[in-house]
Amino acid sequence: MAGVNKVILIGNLGKDPELRYTPGGQPTANFTLATTERWTDKNGQRQDRTEWHNIVAWGKLAELVNQYLKKGRPAYIEGRLAYRSWDDRDGNKKYRTEIVALTVQFLGSGPAGGAGNDASQESYSPPEIAPKGSAEGESFSQDPGLIVEENLPF
């Protein structure tokens, strides 16, 4: 039986994307995304809980994310959950959970709190760099076939 590994997030970038290249020349961008849950507790007090998500994008999607997303900007991320581990310099085992972005929609016109913070707005996709076959206003998608194990930076 096949499984499903799909994550959908809408939130605000916690920092500017960090673009790097693997030794094989494959671009990769890392950034954090904050999602906030709001509710009223039994005492009538408003409560907030913010979760921070580690996001990684590859290939052309990484370059586009680096070019158009900045700290505070709202974004829709669709991808898959991934876990990785490594040994640090002292030999300690480290673990990281991240979302490998396959689709990114740039929401609003700027940082959170500014105009266009409504997630129902159309995504931003500059037509001069839109991927082949996509129309203006669509999201950018990453072809999962572009991720090859020898290009992973870890």
- 32-46 mean pLDDT: 94
Instruction: Assess if residue 154 is contained within a domain.
Output: no
- At residue 61, the 3 state secondary structure works out as helix
pLDDT digits (tens, 9 = 90+) for 76-120: 999 999 999 999 999 999 999 999 999 999 887 655 444 443 333
Q: Determine the pLDDT at residue 141.
A: 54
Please name which of 146, 126, 138 lies closest in space to residue 59, comparing C-alpha atoms.
146
- What is the band of 1 on the pLDDT scale with cuts at 50, 70, 90? confident
The confidence score (pLDDT) of residue 127 equals 30
Domain of residue 50, CATH code: 2.40.50.140
How many domains would you assign to the chain?
1
Burial of 16 (0-12, 13-18, 19+ CB in 10 A): middle
Q: Is residue 81 in some structural domain? A: yes
On whether residue 68 sits in a domain, the answer given is: yes
In terms of residue numbers, what domain contains 78?
7-148
